[in-house]
């Protein structure tokens, strides 16, 4: 795990990496996907992968990831902003957030990782 404790010194790179991955990466990927769908006349669907941390901040058993819940809350707000923007773009592109799908993908990844490591 990366060290994204909010009060730790010398972890700026880890903090920036988490924000870039969990927020900025989503912004850039969604923008490019939207423009690709629009250019090709596709009424597609944008899926936002979020977790329950995007809706409620749990007590953290591992305080090394203190920045994770705030980035997921930002993703929840970002999802709503995309929904509103898509409505005003005269498009049928939809946005959906899925914690359940995220959980399934994580379980599949861990299962495959375990298989590879054994």
* CATH for the stretch 12-117: 3.40.50.720
Which strand (E) or helix (H) includes residue 92?
none
| Positions in the chain short of pLDDT 50 | 1, 117-118
Q: How far apart are CA 84 and CA 88, in angstroms?
A: 7
Catalytic residue (one of 68, 82, 100, 102): 68
Q: Does residue 68 carry a catalytic annotation? A: yes
Contacting residues for 95 by C-beta, under 8 A, at least 6 apart: 45, 46, 47, 48, 79, 82, 83, 86
The predicted pLDDT at position 30 comes to: 92
């Amino acid at each position: 795990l990366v060290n994204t404790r909010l009060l730790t010194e010398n972890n700026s790179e880890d903090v920036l990496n988490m924000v870039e991955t969990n927020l900025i990466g989503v912004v850039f990927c969604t923008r490019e996907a939207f423009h690709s769908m629009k250019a090709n006349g596709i009424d597609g669907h944008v899926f936002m992968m979020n977790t329950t941390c995007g809706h409620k901040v749990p007590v953290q058993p591992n305080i090394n990831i203190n920045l994770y819940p705030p980035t997921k809350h930002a993703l929840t707000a970002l999802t709503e902003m995309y929904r509103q923007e898509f409505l005003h773009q005269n498009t049928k592109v939809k946005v959906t957030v899925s914690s359940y799908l995220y959980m399934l993908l994580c379980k599949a990844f861990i299962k495959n990782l375990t298989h590879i490591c054994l």
